[in-house]
């Protein structure tokens, strides 16, 4: 993997630049619909002179707001990929322009229907101003939300590093490499290269999405290191749909799960242990299933819940409500199921 592919450029202040929300995300769309309708209720409360007139005001405003809102949402969904290619200010301006044009066009189109709010002179300018205000308000909300989650992302990254770069793993790996330096120098050299690539990826910025194919390659490098010390005790069964390898996923999603499978499922056992990893496309979703032997008496060991919580948090940060991670124990095995939307990036 190229190192440049894992790095997100920062602005002069050292902060990550603002970026538009992905309007293809179900979570983003739901927040837009909810936010605008909350604003509609407040506007109706201001418009109604008494509480008894409040329902009529809500219905009257909804007759205008809902068609405009749904049309705008559909247009933003269709233009999501081009918008993500623009700078933040240019993309935000385009979003506001779309909202204003749709609002003004709708207001002018239904003029003459007898609805008072559409009959006054220059009514469309007031409506367009409200649309611009609502659009900027929602963009501001998503901008603040992105910045609010940045510390959480940094903390999650530190937790991930703490969970994955365990002293025992580094110590055991180095000892395994040292044991091969004289007897099999070529294999020792390959193991050191795998370790270097693994730790380089661990230290890279994890805001940029990776692909499942890259995650699989990184995980295989990690498993090469673990095979040095566990030998035949560690068996891995792969079943990866080639079509799934191009799906965008959070970086370091698979390797920590496999490391926990080794740590909690294979190491505690007295004999060989098998880790099963399967990934396939089902409709517009990637389904990843990982299972390992389950040893109840060793589940007090720390790290498993931290890693799962960390990955779940990063899935929500990248894909909101469209991604999920689930665990269950079945047939003496611990199973993890990850669902990620198959979203084409710009």
Which DSSP string corresponds to 86-97?
Answer: S-HHHHHHHHHH
Query: In sequence order, which residues have a C-beta less than 8 Å from that of residue 79 and are 6 or more positions away?
Result: 23, 94, 98
Q: pLDDT band for position 93 (50/70/90)? A: very high
**For residues 254 and 317, which has the higher predicted lDDT (pLDDT)?**
254
Q: Identify the domain boundary among 118, 147, 176.
A: 147
Q: Domain total for the chain?
A: 2
If asked whether residues 134 and 190 sit together in one domain, one would say no
Lowest mean pLDDT among 52-66, 117-131, 171-185, 254-268: 117-131
What is the mean predicted confidence (pLDDT) over 231-251? 91
On the 0-12 / 13-18 / 19+ scale of CB atoms within 10 A, 281 is: middle
If asked whether residues 316 and 181 sit together in one domain, one would say yes
Q: What is the pLDDT of residues 98-137, one digit of tens each?
A: 999 998 888 777 765 555 555 555 566 777 888 888 899 8
What is the mean predicted confidence (pLDDT) over 240-267? 88
Share of the chain above pLDDT 70, in %: 78
If asked whether residues 143 and 169 sit together in one domain, one would say no
Q: What is the pLDDT of residues 207-217, one digit of tens each?
A: 678 899 999 99
Q: How far is CA 105 from CA 62, 102, 117, 127, 290, in A?
A: 16, 5, 15, 10, 52
Lowest mean pLDDT among 75-89, 138-152, 194-208: 194-208
What is the mean predicted confidence (pLDDT) over 206-232? 84
Residue 287 lies in a domain: yes
pTM of the model: 0.66
Residue 294 lies in a domain: yes
Report pLDDT for 167: 57
What is the mean predicted confidence (pLDDT) over 154-165? 54
Q: Identify the domain boundary among 112, 147, 182.
A: 147
Report pLDDT for 278: 96
If asked whether residues 314 and 220 sit together in one domain, one would say yes
Pure H helices in 79-184: 80-85, 88-109, 123-164, 167-178
If asked whether residues 219 and 130 sit together in one domain, one would say no
Q: What is the CATH number of the domain that holds 253?
A: 3.30.565.10
Q: Identify the domain boundary among 147, 179, 211.
A: 147
Range of the domain at 92: 3-147
């Amino acid at each position: 993997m190229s190192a440049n592919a894992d790095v997100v450029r920062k602005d002069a202040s050292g902060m990550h630049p603002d970026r538009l929300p992905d309007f293809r995300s179900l979570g983003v769309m739901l927040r837009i619909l909810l936010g605008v309708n909350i604003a509609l209720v407040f506007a109706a409360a201001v418009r109604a002179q008494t509480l008894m007139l409040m329902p009529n005001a809500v219905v009257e405003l909804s007759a205008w707001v809902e068609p405009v809102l749904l049309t705008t949402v559909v247009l933003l969904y269709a233009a999501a990929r081009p918008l993500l290619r623009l700078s933040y200010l240019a993309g935000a301006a385009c979003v506001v322009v779309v909202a204003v044009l749709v609002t003004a066009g709708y207001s002018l189109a239904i003029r003459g229907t007898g609805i008072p709010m559409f009959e006054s002179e220059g009514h469309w300018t007031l409506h367009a101003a409200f649309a611009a205000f609502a659009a900027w308000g929602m963009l501001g909300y998503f901008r603040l939300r992105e910045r609010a989650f940045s510390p959480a992302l940094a903390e999650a990254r530190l937790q991930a590093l703490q969970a994955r770069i365990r002293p025992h793993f580094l110590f055991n790996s180095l000892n395994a490499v040292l044991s091969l330096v004289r007897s099999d120098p070529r294999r020792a050299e390959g193991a050191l290269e795998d370790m270097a690539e693994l730790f380089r990826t661990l230290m890279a910025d994890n805001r940029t999405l990776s692909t499942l194919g890259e995650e699989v390659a990184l995980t295989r490098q990690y498993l090469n290191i673990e095979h040095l010390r566990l030998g035949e005790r560690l068996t891995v069964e792969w079943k990866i749909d080639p079509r799934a390898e191009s799906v965008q996923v959070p970086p370091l999603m698979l390797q920590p799960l496999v490391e926990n499978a080794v740590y909690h499922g294979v190491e505690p056992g007295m004999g060989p242990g098998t880790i099963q990893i399967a990934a396939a496309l089902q409709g517009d979703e990637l389904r990843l299933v990982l299972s390992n032997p389950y040893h109840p008496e060793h589940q007090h060991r720390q790290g498993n819940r931290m890693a799962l919580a960390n990955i779940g948090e990063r899935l929500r940060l990248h894909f909101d409500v469209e991604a999920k991670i689930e665990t269950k124990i079945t047939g003496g095995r611990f199973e993890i199921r990850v669902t990620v939307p198959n979203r084409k990036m710009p």
